[in-house]
Structure 1
Amino acid sequence: MKVKHILAIFIAGLICTVLGAMFKILHWQFAPELLSGGTFLQLIAGILGIWKIYTTEEFKKFLNK
C-alpha cells in the first residue's frame, strides 16, 4: 500500500471525527457513529503507517547504524 493511500484513509477519518464532533455539539443524530467510525479509520491508518515504516528497507538500515 502506498503512503498516499494511508494518508487518504487518515484524512477521511479526520473528517469523520470532526463532523461527528460538530454533530455532537449540535445534538444531531449519528454523532456517536461518526466519532467511532472516524476514530477507527485513524487507528487503521496509524497501524498501516507503522507497518509501512517498519517494512521499509531504508528504515532497517537506519536502525542498524
Structure 2
Amino acid sequence: MIKQYKIPLVLFLLGMAGTILGALFKIMHWALAPELLIIGMTLQVIAIFILIAIILKK
C-alpha cells in the first residue's frame, strides 16, 4: 500500500526543496530564484495531481 505513494512523495519532497531553495535565493537576491520557485511549485502540483488520481482510482 505504501509503495504506490512513493513516487508522489518523492516528487513532493523535491518540489518542497526547490521551493525552499528558491525562496532563499529570492531573499538573498541571487540569480535563478524565479526558476527554482516555478520548478519547485510545479513538482508539488504534479505530485498532488498524482495523489488525487491514486486516491480516486481506489
Shorter-chain TM-score tier: over 0.9
Structure whose alpha-carbon radius of gyration is higher: 1
The structure richer in helix per residue is 2
The gaps in structure 2 that reach 5 residues or longer are none
The code of the aligned residue for 1:49 comes to: L
SS at match of 1:51: helix
Partner of 2:36: 34
1:24 is paired with a residue whose SS is helix
CA shift for structure 1 position 50: 0.3
| Superposed CA RMSD | 1.1
**Are 1:52 and 2:51 an aligned pair?**
no
Deviation at 1:4, TM superposition (A): 1.0
Identity over aligned pairs, percent = 45
Number of aligned residues: 56
Alignment partner, residue 4 of structure 1: 6
Aligned mates of 2:4, 2:26 — CA distance in 1: 33
Deviation at residue 2 of structure 1 after TM alignment: 1.9
Structure with more relative contact order (C-alpha pairs < 8 Å, separation 6 or more): 2
Structure 1 segments unaligned to the other structure (5+ residues): 57-65
Q: Match of 2:24?
A: 22
- TM-score by structure 1 length? 0.83
